[in-house]
Amino acid sequence: MAEQPSATTTAPGEVTLPSGYTYTSVTDKIANIVLTRRSRWPWFLTFSIALVCMLAFFLACGVLFIVGPGIWGINIPVAWGYAIGNFVWWIGIGHAGTFISAILLLLRQKWRTSINRFAEAMTLFAAGIAGIFPILHLGRPWFFYWLVPYPDAMSLWPQWRSPLVWDFFAISTYLTVSLVFWYMGLIPDLATLRDRAKTRTQQLIYGLFALGWRGEARHWARHQSAYLLMAGLATPLVVSVHSVVSLDFAIGNTPGYHSTIFPPYFVAGALFSGFAMVLTLAIPLRHFFGLHEFITMRHLENCAKVLLATGWFVAYGYLSETFMAYYSNDPFEIYMVQNRMTGPYAPVYWALITCNVLAPQIMWWRAARRSVPVLFVLSLVVNMGMWMERFLIVVSSLHRDFLPSAWGLFIPTRWDWIHLLGSIGMFVVLFMLFIRFLPAISIAEIREMLHEEKSS
Amino acid sequence: MSDLDRRDVLKLLAASAALATGACSGPPEEKIVPFARAPEMAIPGKPLFYATSVSSRGYGMGVLVETNEGRPTKVEGNPLHPASLGSTDPFTQAAVLQLWDPARSQTVLHEGQVATWPQFLAAMEARLTELERARGAGLALLTGTVCSPSLQWQLTQLRERYPEARWYQYDPLHADNELRGGELAFGRAIDTRYRLDRVQTLLTLDADFLSCEPYSVRYARDFAGRRNPDRGAMSRVYTVESSPGLIGAKADHRVALPPSRIEQLVLHLARALGVETPYEGDSPEPRFSAALLEDLRRSPGAALILPGRALPPQIHALVHMLNHRLGGAGTTFEHIEPVAFMPTPQLESIRALSESISAGEVRMLAMLEGNPAYDAPADLDFSSRLRSVPETVHVSLYVDETSANCRWHVPRTHEFEAWSDLRGFDGTLGIVQPVIAPLYGGHSVHEVLNVLLRSSTNSGYQTVRAHWQRTFNHGGDDEQWRKALRDGIVANTAATPVTVSPRPPSTGFTPAKAESLAAIFTADSSLLDGRFANNVWLQELPRPMSKLTWDNAAYVSPRTAARLGVATGDEIELQRGQRAVRAGVWILPTHADDCITLPLGYGRTHAGPAGSGVGFDAYRLRTADSPWVADIRVRRTGEHRWLVSTQHHARMEGREIVRTATAEEFARDPHFATTEKKERVPEHTLYPDYPHDSYQWGMVIDLNACIGCNACTIACQAENNIPVVGKEEVDRGREMHWIRIDRYYSQDSGRLDTDFQPVPCMHCERAPCELVCPVEATTHDSQGLNLQVYNRCIGTRFCSNNCPYKVRRFNFLQYSNESSEPLKALQNPDVTVRQRGVMEKCTYCVQRIQRGRIEAQELGRRIADGEVVTACQAVCPTQAITFGDLNDSHSLVRKLKSSPRNYSLLAELNTRPRTTYLAQVRNVRTES
Amino acid sequence: MAQVFDRGVVLALKVALLIALVLIVTLLFVWRWSIDYPHTLAAPPRQPLPFSHQHHVRDDGIDCRYCHTSVEKSAFAGIPSSDVCMTCHSQLFRDVALFEPLRQSLRTGRRLQWTRVNDLPDFVYFDHSAHVSHGVPCKECHGRVDQMPLTARARSLEMRWCLSCHRDPGPHLVRPGEVFDMNAAPPASENEQRRLLAGYGILDVRRLMDCSTCHR
């Protein structure tokens, strides 16, 4: 049945396609991760640690709702703290997924195929977690639904000039679309899993979600066009979401918030952190599940290149912020910049410059781009750097604004940290469950590519 | 404290649980409870005001107490009373909290055990019979300064009944030096009443008359009257002081000198003015003295020297001489017969008492006021001597340190609960009438005295009324009595001036030698002498200079700090002989070198839950021989003290925040405050103007008048149910005051000036907060107010981020009181009590505006100018705050807005604030 | 290979999904209604005395202000103190058992505990005097109390209900003399409305829509 692996001419690692794979073997390889392969201790270890963090997160939320936002380090003037920082950070991470699957799809970037699935999952989880924070952050979270326009007994509506309202819609839209997009892509694979299911329960569950996919030509045709359409829909969102998020700050008059460069700067930053997270996830994934042929050096290298590029966007953002401050000759703006570089939070600033601007420069060297450990470390460094950037934008702008008499400091409490680490734990838990129960790589699309390659 | 925290947390749990359920079911059923028999003249839902007086260290201060459904909720000044003129000090504002304080003593105690009033009466009966047999020998009475005619009358009766009985007075902030100085100069006790509204050149010698004194409010008003450059020439103020005071901040020329050098300066001055003094040396501040002398000479009959209570009697006598020389008699000051009853040097008095105690002469000691066990001179060791007295009775609001050392403790009624009468600092008599029945079953001083007198009349009312009949006996016609109650004062009872001339001062006086390091004991701007220790409003009130809350500290100058090798927050041990106290250091740039200021009133052990254990007790270093200044030694302990302040940055960073000019600059360019900044204000905006109805509210704050006394902050707190958050929360930067007073230091041509700037909500016409709120919880209304709708707020806090003035306050936790019933009764029914998680801020007292509107509407007319007065405006002693309708072309606020000094804070942001400031002008002498 | 789900099951699944959807929506509405205070109009709460406005107002023709004394002077209309009741009932129905609580309260001075019928949240500052003096008749909010044997709430008292009048007061006003008249007719014509509004000095309705008009 299976024909011999065709001796390929492409040098190993250059390929986007697992050399010498057949439809069946591809399917076996990926599906078995879910269906037959037993979980190993690394999975359990990571999962349980993450689970503990997640529970801590829930505990912290409980305390938050009972005692109030006062458990955090926030105060007047620094009324926004980690909650908003985390929110922006997670939303940023939740970008790469849709970017990879939608935009790269439209750009017919073949190499995306084997990383888009888990990237989308990452997007989904990240955006979901991000969505929680603005609500936690409220003084009276139980009234969050007042941001929804609905005919209430007070005949009141949201205040449409407030970016927070735009935010609410931007994020909910983004969440829904990426969910649908992701699920749509999953359907054929779910069907595959259903058909290869080893137990009745597996068969039932996968079957249920496969929505009766039978792989007919008709199904494929519609799926393809629908998928493309969704991609078209998702593409503008990639840009819009983080632009809107950035307006939460840009609309404000605080020096350090009030800046026109924010929308593009935030989007770039989002992709930056997004791709970093893709690497952070891809590398262990391919290592532990032996997917080296699917997630190849080429993928990693491309991600690295994107990192390098977006890194420069971000760097440009920092630069123009500083430049504009002096160019505007506004004493408050100028002081803000100086305060960032020399004030109480200066260490954070220089740390983030190191992480986001200096560190990625090693990507100029091919050797570095092709060294997995280097990439992994770098991806972590960039993620950290981006979190620090969010923190800096939120806190250091607020803590010294117009009237020196009102200046203050923000000092995070243990609850701030629990909410940050807990949310990461939650993310990992979700991702772990994902790779355990769903194909982390799109079987159908790989097969499709295989087919195209054959016919070429 | 930790215990409190625990209970708070539990409280929050309960609260949020209730809240969770409350969210998904209708609100609980409420009751209406009408009277069984309705009282007369009380309209439910309308406040009633009663005119009365409160005691400010014995002297009367006229007030109007607002009661809602019989609950006293707010204190206003009495415009008719000369000590108030409608304003009050922070202490008077906080009096209403003290009234409701659940920690007040609620029962008679005998040997610390709960007892009853009858038991007390019985015990007294036994004692008094035997004392009477001994013609009162062994009976001792301790009071503070007595300015109550009725009390005076009772004391004279006491003297008749027990001829051998002894009466002692003690007030830790006694005025002995003034008193003895007067005696030296005039041969008898005499009071001097200064007329600052007539002073052109003023020199204050370590005398911060703007705070903590019975006359402060009035003097502040008179002082400010001469400090408005828009209304003709300003007075010029020279200040010599050791520890920074309010007057020092307002002074045009100020030098900071240690106490000993201040004496030298005075003596030098005296010699220059032709009065013989033993001091031959030169002035410690030649340039200052020279300028001062010239101005003094240049303003004959309009110059005044104000000596502080810490200066020795000889200096006071000398200053009397000088003031007469300067020809101010009858104009800048006048002498009156002492207002207090039998003024005596109180240090002598308390020393005599403790000596006769240790001599075993005292068989029964009744203390009607004060807390000597805590605040008597440390070397008298009063508390332990107390225990050796067979019978001791202490009448006080709290079960304090003294009560703990007494056989009998009797809960005293608050001033709002009892009948009495008080004379103001100028002698004006005011009736003290109760506005509520005793909450905790207390007894007034008069009642206790009646017990000692074993008189048939036992109620305070009868006593006061009887005394009234004796003095103003008009055939028992009650009209005048009723008028006195209505007005709060008895017309023309002010003391009449007497003409006396000072004798030449004794030359036998040797000026004090310079100490290596002098401790200066001062009254505390929040706790006074410690009597307000359990008053959380005052505890949380930032101290004017340091902005310190919930604490006192040892204040030193930067140089002295360097000499001692300490920094702010370090702990030091202050040693005086065998006595030692540990304190935290706080550096004040304007403090004099080689001395260290120790505010009194802290480190209490029996103050109550909030007041005990706060700060360090400076009394422990204060001995009878040196009540105000003492030589001390200091060593670093290496420990640190947790000191919490509300302002962390004191410089303006070159931003145009407080705008100041010298009188000369002002004369040259009256528009100095706005000229060079004008072009920075954007002229255009994208948004159309708001449509407005017939009223346009606005506020002007005159920085020249503001003395930074904090009265507005606490008045606002009382009016608007602003919660207290406690030391930890203040430390996290979460204080809730709606109007804060910023304190800046500005370096100007070699002078280090202290500037005050009250900052309430600016009610911007282009409010940045409004357009970022997602739920329209903060909006603009048709009378121009920037509203905060608590019940709509979900707490995104974006508004606060977007407020350039950072005047918004957030309920990070459940701050407002939910547990204590008495404190609920204190709250203003016209203002919503804010829940956890909502933003709040200054509302321009919208509840008062609303009341004014409705009343005016029902009368079918507009609100007249001055009819609606904000709480901060009403209380301000210097009338620095003006509020009114900008549409009314005749309103005062409109007039002030057209003053050349008028400018808006951060105008360049185009927020168009409705609260604007009148720039500061310092009448600095120009060297010619 | 055989289908995992046969048609029946698939149908069942679809139906189930549909039901779930409907259920969620209805639940939302139910919840909305449950927090939509107050739910029960026209249900008189239990009171210490079965006081009948119908009897006192319609039969006896007693003016509202006889008992609700401060309605024209204060935010609070005022609930009569026991002695006010006694001005009549010291003579009438002296020994009816029903009145025992009343007599008792006067003897002991213990106050009667009435249950609020028209209850607003504490952050709403309604002012009776302001409304009465501007020609808003009692019945506008309290309904025809003269037809209530037992007093019950007649209006929802929701914010949107308040606003419905604040937005356009004209049709709700009556002539100054008729404020306490249960049978007063609303203004007949547009002009009538305009005349009333002018007469009461309600020139600018925007002010009535300000948050600060009711919330502080």
pLDDT in tens, B167-222: 999 999 999 999 999 999 999 999 999 999 999 999 999 999 999 999 999 999 99
One domain, residues B605 and B555:
yes
Residue A13 pLDDT exceeds 70 = no
Residue type, B259: P
> What are the beta bridge partners of residue B329?
B333
Give contacts of B34 with chain C, Cβ < 8 Å. Answer: 78-82, 111-112, 114
Do the beta carbons of residue B836 and residue B813 sit within 8 Å? Answer: yes
In a domain, B410, yes or no: no
Interface of C with A (CB under 8 A): 1, 3-5, 10, 13, 36, 158-160, 163
Task: Provide the pLDDT for residue C155.
Answer: 87
Domain that holds residue B873: 665-922
Domain that holds residue A262: 23-148+158-455
**Arithmetic mean of pLDDT, A262-291:** 90
Task: Provide the pLDDT for residue B789.
Answer: 95
Do the beta carbons of residue B139 and residue B165 sit within 8 Å? Answer: yes
Neighbours of B720 (CB within 10 A): 27
The percentage of chain A sitting over the pLDDT mark of 90, rounded to a whole number, equals: 63
The CATH number linked to B543 is: 2.40.40.20
**Confidence at B508, pLDDT banded by 50, 70, 90:** low
Task: Give the minimum alpha-carbon distance from A58 to chain B in angstroms, rounded to a whole number.
Answer: 17
In a domain, A16, yes or no: no
pLDDT in tens, B813-822: 999 988 888 9
Neighbours of A100 (CB within 10 A): 30
Neighbours of chain A (3+ CB pairs under 8 A): B, C
Query: Residue B520 CA to chain centroid, in angstroms?
Result: 20
Task: Give the minimum alpha-carbon distance from A290 to chain B in angstroms, rounded to a whole number.
Answer: 47
Task: Provide the pLDDT for residue C2.
Answer: 62
More confident residue, C45 or B12: C45
Interface of B with A in 47-86 (CB under 8 A): none
Give contacts of B782 with chain C, Cβ < 8 Å. Answer: 204, 206-207, 210
In a domain, A183, yes or no: yes
pLDDT in tens, B579-618: 999 999 999 999 999 999 999 999 999 999 999 999 999 9
In a domain, B632, yes or no: yes
Q: Label residues B251-274 b or e (16+ Cβ within 10 Å = b).
A: bbbbbbbbbbbbbbbbbbbbbbbe
Give contacts of C37 with chain B, Cβ < 8 Å. Answer: 26-27
pLDDT in tens, C108-164: 888 889 998 888 888 999 999 999 999 999 999 999 999 999 998 888 888 989 999
Domain end among B579, B611, B645: B645
Q: Could you give the CA distance from residue A348 to residue B231 in angstroms, rounded to a whole number?
A: 54
Do the beta carbons of residue B94 and residue B716 sit within 8 Å? Answer: no
One domain, residues B279 and B232:
yes
**Arithmetic mean of pLDDT, A386-409:** 94
HSE-CB at A77 with a 13 A cutoff on CA atoms is 24
Question: Closest by alpha carbon to A116, among A210, A213, A220, A227?
Answer: A227
Rounded (10°) angle between helices A414-437 and A82-93: 20
B832–C123 CB contact, under 8 Å: yes
Q: Could you give the CA distance from residue B794 to residue B801 in angstroms, rounded to a whole number?
A: 15
In a domain, A384, yes or no: yes
pLDDT in tens, B356-379: 999 999 999 999 999 999 999 999
The CATH number linked to B276 is: 3.40.228.10
Domain end among B286, B316, B336: B336
Give contacts of A194 with chain C, Cβ < 8 Å. Answer: 4
One domain, residues B201 and B292:
yes
**Arithmetic mean of pLDDT, A309-327:** 93
A155–C13 CB contact, under 8 Å: no
The CATH number linked to B11 is: 3.30.200
Neighbours of chain C (3+ CB pairs under 8 A): A, B
Give contacts of A152 with chain C, Cβ < 8 Å. Answer: 160
Interface of A with C (CB under 8 A): 152-156, 194-195, 203-204, 207-208, 212
Q: How many domains are there within chain B?
A: 4
In a domain, A7, yes or no: no
Task: Provide the pLDDT for residue C37.
Answer: 56
Query: Is B21 an 8 Å CB contact of chain C?
Result: no
Query: Is A63 an 8 Å CB contact of chain B?
Result: no
Residue B1 pLDDT exceeds 50 = no
One domain, residues B21 and B56:
yes
Report ipTM (2 d.p.). 0.91
One domain, residues B552 and B589:
yes
Residue B758 pLDDT exceeds 90 = yes
Q: Could you give the CA distance from residue B814 to residue B834 in angstroms, rounded to a whole number?
A: 9
Residue B12 pLDDT exceeds 70 = no
In a domain, B395, yes or no: no
Give CA angle at A146 (A141, A150), nearest 5°: 150
Interface of A with B in 385-404 (CB under 8 A): 398, 401-404
Q: Could you give the CA distance from residue A277 to residue A97 in angstroms, rounded to a whole number?
A: 10
Q: State the average pLDDT for chain B.
A: 91
In a domain, B508, yes or no: no
Query: Is A331 an 8 Å CB contact of chain B?
Result: yes
**Confidence at B860, pLDDT banded by 50, 70, 90:** confident
Residue A407 pLDDT exceeds 90 = yes
Query: Whole-prediction pTM value?
Result: 0.92
Tell the burial category of A110 from Cβ atoms under 10 Å away from its Cβ (0-12, 13-18, 19+).
middle
pLDDT in tens, B784-831: 999 999 999 999 999 999 999 999 999 999 999 888 889 999 999 999
Q: Following DSSP, what letter does each residue of B535-582 receive, concatenated?
A: -HHHHHSPPTTT-EES---EEE-HHHHHHHT--TTEEEEEEETTEEEE
Give CA angle at C118 (C201, B853), nearest 5°: 25
Task: Provide the pLDDT for residue C187.
Answer: 86
Q: State the average pLDDT for chain C.
A: 87
What lies within 8 Å, CB to CB, of A289 at 6+ separation is: A33, A37, A435, A440
Of C5, C36, C160, the CB nearest to A155: C160
In a domain, A5, yes or no: no
Query: Is A264 an 8 Å CB contact of chain B?
Result: no
Residue to mutate among A143, A155, A159, with most C CBs inside 10 A, is: A155
One domain, residues B638 and B760:
no
**Arithmetic mean of pLDDT, B714-718:** 97
Query: Is A209 an 8 Å CB contact of chain B?
Result: no
Beta strand pairing status for B364-367 and B139-143?
A: parallel
In a domain, B157, yes or no: no
Helix (H, G, I), strand (E, B) or coil at B304: strand
Give contacts of B838 with chain A, Cβ < 8 Å. Answer: 139-140
One domain, residues B758 and B876:
yes
Domain end among B287, B320, B336: B336
One domain, residues B819 and B896:
yes
* Residue C209 backbone dihedrals phi, psi, to 5 degrees: -95, -5
**Confidence at B23, pLDDT banded by 50, 70, 90:** very low
Task: Give the minimum alpha-carbon distance from C210 to chain A in angstroms, rounded to a whole number.
Answer: 13
Query: Is B793 an 8 Å CB contact of chain A?
Result: yes
One domain, residues B812 and B738:
yes
pLDDT in tens, B464-474: 999 988 888 76
Tell the burial category of A58 from Cβ atoms under 10 Å away from its Cβ (0-12, 13-18, 19+).
exposed
C159–A153 CB contact, under 8 Å: yes
Give CA angle at B571 (B570, B573), nearest 5°: 145
**Lowest-confidence range among A298-302, A344-348, B30-34, B697-701?**
B30-34
Residue A7 pLDDT exceeds 60 = no
Task: Give the minimum alpha-carbon distance from A193 to chain C in angstroms, rounded to a whole number.
Answer: 12
Residue C212 pLDDT exceeds 50 = yes
Do the beta carbons of residue A257 and residue A397 sit within 8 Å? Answer: yes
Task: Provide the pLDDT for residue A9.
Answer: 38
Q: B558: cis peptide before it, omega within 30°?
A: no
Task: Provide the pLDDT for residue A18.
Answer: 58
Residue of C nearest to B862 (CA): C201
**Lowest-confidence range among A91-100, A246-255, B243-252, B615-624?**
A91-100
pLDDT in tens, B61-72: 999 999 998 899
**Lowest-confidence range among B25-29, B238-242, B525-529?**
B25-29
One domain, residues B299 and B432:
no
Task: Provide the pLDDT for residue B623.
Answer: 94
Task: Provide the pLDDT for residue A95.
Answer: 83
Of A142, A252, A408, the CB nearest to B648: A408
**Confidence at A6, pLDDT banded by 50, 70, 90:** very low
Query: Is A334 an 8 Å CB contact of chain B?
Result: no
In a domain, B420, yes or no: yes
What lies within 8 Å, CB to CB, of A64 at 6+ separation is: A71, A136, A415, A419
Query: Is B831 an 8 Å CB contact of chain C?
Result: yes
Task: Give the minimum alpha-carbon distance from B845 to chain C in angstroms, rounded to a whole number.
Answer: 9
Query: Is B854 an 8 Å CB contact of chain C?
Result: yes
Give contacts of B906 with chain A, Cβ < 8 Å. Answer: 402-403
Task: Provide the pLDDT for residue A11.
Answer: 40
One domain, residues B566 and B715:
no
Task: Give the minimum alpha-carbon distance from B827 to chain A in angstroms, rounded to a whole number.
Answer: 23
One domain, residues B555 and B687:
no
B653–A406 CB contact, under 8 Å: no
C163–A207 CB contact, under 8 Å: no
Task: Provide the pLDDT for residue B16.
Answer: 45
Residue of C nearest to A196 (CA): C1
Give contacts of B652 with chain A, Cβ < 8 Å. Answer: 404
Residue to mutate among B778, B828, B846, B870, with most C CBs inside 10 A, is: B846
In this structure, what token pair is assigned to residue A180? 């649908």
More confident residue, A62 or B31: A62
In a domain, B500, yes or no: no
HSE-CB at A311 with a 13 A cutoff on CA atoms is 27
Neighbours of B506 (CB within 10 A): 12
Task: Provide the pLDDT for residue B850.
Answer: 94
Q: Could you give the CA distance from residue B197 to residue B195 in angstroms, rounded to a whole number?
A: 5
**Arithmetic mean of pLDDT, A252-277:** 92
A153–C158 CB contact, under 8 Å: yes
Question: Closest by alpha carbon to A96, among A277, A231, A233?
Answer: A277
pLDDT in tens, B457-494: 778 999 999 998 888 876 667 888 899 999 999 988 99
**Confidence at A262, pLDDT banded by 50, 70, 90:** very high
In a domain, B396, yes or no: no
C210–B782 CB contact, under 8 Å: yes
A to C CB pairs, distance under 8 Å: 23
Residue A1 pLDDT exceeds 60 = no
Q: How many domains are there within chain A?
A: 1
**Arithmetic mean of pLDDT, A10-21:** 53
Task: Give the minimum alpha-carbon distance from C36 to chain B in angstroms, rounded to a whole number.
Answer: 8
Q: Could you give the CA distance from residue B748 to residue B257 in angstroms, rounded to a whole number?
A: 20
